[in-house]
Amino acid sequence: MTRTIHVAHSPDSDDAFMFYALAEHKIDTEGFTYVHELQDIESLNQRALRAELEVTAVSIHAYAYLADRYALLPHGASIGDRYGPRLVAREPMTRDALRGKRIAIPGFKTTAYLALRLFEPEFEPVPTPFDEIEDAVVDGKADVGLLIHEGQLTFGDRGLHLIQDLGEWWFQETGLPLPLGGNVVRKDLGEATIAKISRHLRASIAYALEHRAEALDHAMKFARGLDRSKADAFVGMYVNDWTLDYGDQGREAVRLLLERGMEAGVIPNRVHVEFVED
């Protein structure tokens, strides 16, 4: 049976890397045709809240508001193992000094924002497109920037100082990696379709990891100014064994992060986390 499935993800080198085999028809999709839609993660979060998308990347924070309609696929997670969103400023700054500061954030439903609220609850959020956050800090529109995506590697080139890596902080707090993003599938697609989608996504990630050079060539189209070595490093940060499957630790990290968010009053209700099982 031929079926068209719309898959949405960020226009980033790591997402492009993991979806390469699907986008370039490198694997058998058993009659399914995948149409790719590329948007920034906060836009995808908002579209998923409206249940517009069949399969999409979302922030783990946003999943808290989607769990009634979407399940987490076991493949495609972006998980930071002692690294993650980074707080940067024009000058060195202590953690205590963050209180009350204007912090440029990439969106209220991003996991970066949730982690920041757990790290420092009292600040003035300045919603800013993720690729303009460095500029906002350099230009003085914000005191501090919360960087996701490639900005985690490039902030030093702008003369900015690292205040805190929230992935490292989370590890020190919990001993777990920080689950930042995942792929979700709408439950109303039905078990058979969901099982196929899950299989295809895992095969796409495995293909990219096994054919790294050609997948990286594809990802370079989305590297936003990174040279190949930095793009390779960035892809390596977020496409790894955790991406093939969350594993027990990754699943526990998702549950704990959302539980902590609820306890802190960032997330309004306890979340029942549902993973698609292969």
> Which residues are identified as catalytic?
149
| CA dist., res. 85 & res. 83, Å (int) | 7
Which tokens sit at 167?
């992935």
Residue listed under structure tokens 């690729």: 131
Residue 26's closest CA among 239, 194, 200? 200
Closest CA to 201 of 65, 32, 3, 47: 32
Q: Is 4 exposed, middle or buried (0-12, 13-18, 19+ CB in 10 A)?
A: exposed
What are the CA-CA distances from residue 117 to residues 20, 111, 246, 258 (Å)? 34, 10, 24, 12
* Largest pairwise CA distance in the chain: 59
Amino acid identity of residue 212, one-letter, is R
Task: Say if residues 38 and 9 touch (Cβ distance below 8 Å).
Answer: yes
Structure tokens that stand for 115 in this block: 């982690």
First vs last Cα of the chain: how many Å apart? 21
User: If phi over 0 gives left and psi between -120 and 50 gives alpha, with beta otherwise, what is residue 122?
Assistant: beta
Whether residue 119 contacts residue 168, with contact meaning beta carbons closer than 8 Å, is answered with no
CA distances from 78 to 10, 28, 31, 92, 123 (A): 12, 24, 28, 28, 26
Cβ atoms of 241 and 79 within 8 Å: the answer is no
